[in-house]
Amino acid sequence: MLIKIRKASDVRGSEITPKSVYLDRRRFLRAAAVAGAGAAMAPLALAGSAQAGAKLTGVVKGPYSTDEEQTKYESVTSYNNFYEFGTGKSDPARNSRNFKPKPWSVAIEGTVAKPAVYDFEDLIRPHKLEERVYRLRCVEAWSMVIPWIGIPLGDVIKRLEPTSKARYVAFDTLHDPEQMPGQRRSVLDWPYVEGLRMDEAMHPLTLLAVGLYGEEMPNQNGAPIRLVVPWKYGYKSIKSIVRMRFVETQPETAWNKASPREYGFYSNVNPDVPHPRWSQRRERRIGFFFKRDTLMFNGYAEEVAGLYTGMDLAKYY
Ligand code: MTE
């Protein structure tokens, strides 16, 4: 089992770029294999940041939760993609310890009736926090099951009253190389940007997440507020959001700018459309030994397939 877990073919070549990322994943797998054999992983307090860990109260169970086995908290918070804190999987937990997600504000801009800079609390407080256990499938062919806590993005959007001109929502991550050491290198064109078509943003599955496992969002997972779009590859789930803009035309997205051939605007999980460098047919669920089939729309086809009726998903990848 240990040998199988460590096989390079088990974790298909590096994705979203460099070799360092791939090597780092192998280091993680070795650590995971050791942990599986009985050794202890890093204590919880060390896995997160100074601010992480505060319990969120008044959380209700939301709809759409899967009852699949949840990925261990230690894995969810130590195996991350957050290039603002480094390209290695363990970099975000290590390099985000001094990141300050409080106070925080989010600028609402564009074709919207209530543009303003909203304090984080004012943006969130009018809504009931829900726990939603979602699968998240990374473009790198691994997946996790995470009990997110958040509010439906659609509810927030309704309150902000976009005008009829708004066809897309664009999102920006914080740009602050002082706090985000990964931004001192031009790995991506900072800030990290993402976008959704308005009907995708309004879909009841789309979550603005502020926590996981009953606690405030750990820094490495996108504190204090991030997107979770479970039927799309993980990179659409932009972290540490400081700006939402309602726009008429399709916005740029960070990975599409970096490599348009590999990363499209839609980025729906689709086992039938391979990434140019690897297949998307199978995936490795973190914590499990055997690979499993990747499901269309990451298993959320019943809920979201209708959004793409009549679209050629090989063209609009
Ligand atoms: N958001 C920002 N700002 N920067 C990033 O590098 N990585 C994306 C996404 N959001 C990323 C980001 C990718 S590739 C994935 S798979 C998910 O975050 C990972 O989320 P997690 O670390 O909470 O599992």
CATH number at residue 233: 3.90.420.10
Among the atoms of ligand 1, which is closest to the Cα of residue 15?
14
Establish if 317 belongs to a structural domain.
no
* From 226, 237, 262, mutation site for ligand 1 pocket: most ligand atoms within 8 A of C-beta: 237
Helix (H) or strand (E) holding 45: helix 44-47
Please give the pLDDT value at position 53: 81
Positions in the chain whose pLDDT score sits under 70 = 1-52
The token duo for 112 is 């919207």
Please give the pLDDT value at position 44: 30
CA end-to-end span of the chain, whole Å? 35
Establish if 38 belongs to a structural domain.
no
Please give the pLDDT value at position 156: 98
Please give the pLDDT value at position 160: 97
Establish if 40 belongs to a structural domain.
no
Q: Under the phi-then-psi rule, with left for phi > 0, alpha for psi from -120 to 50, and beta for the rest, what region is 155?
A: alpha
Establish if 210 belongs to a structural domain.
yes
Which residue in the block uniquely carries the two structure tokens 């073919």?
9
Please give the pLDDT value at position 150: 98
Please give the pLDDT value at position 266: 98
Number of domains in the chain: 1
Which residues have C-beta atoms less than 6 Å from ligand 1? 16, 80-84, 138, 173, 192, 221-222, 234-235, 237-240
Among the atoms of ligand 1, which is closest to the Cα of residue 233?
16
Please give the pLDDT value at position 49: 42
DSSP secondary structure code for residue 201 in this structure: H
Q: Which runs of E-coded beta strand occur in 163-270?
A: 168-173, 193-197, 207-212, 215-216, 226-228, 241-247
Helix (H) or strand (E) holding 105: strand 105-110
Residue nearest ligand 1's atom 14 by CA? 235
Measured in Å, residue 11 CA sits from the centre of ligand 1 at: 18
Domain of 113, in residue numbers: 46-308
Measured in Å, residue 220 CA sits from the centre of ligand 1 at: 9
Establish if 289 belongs to a structural domain.
yes
Please give the pLDDT value at position 11: 36
Establish if 140 belongs to a structural domain.
yes
Establish if 51 belongs to a structural domain.
yes
Please give the pLDDT value at position 65: 98
CA distance 2 to 136: 25
Please give the pLDDT value at position 14: 39
Q: Do 250 and 229 touch, CB atoms closer than 8 A?
A: no
Please give the pLDDT value at position 30: 39
CA distance 302 to 316: 19
Q: For residue 164, report the phi and psi dihedrals to the nearest 5 degrees.
A: -70, -15
Establish if 34 belongs to a structural domain.
no
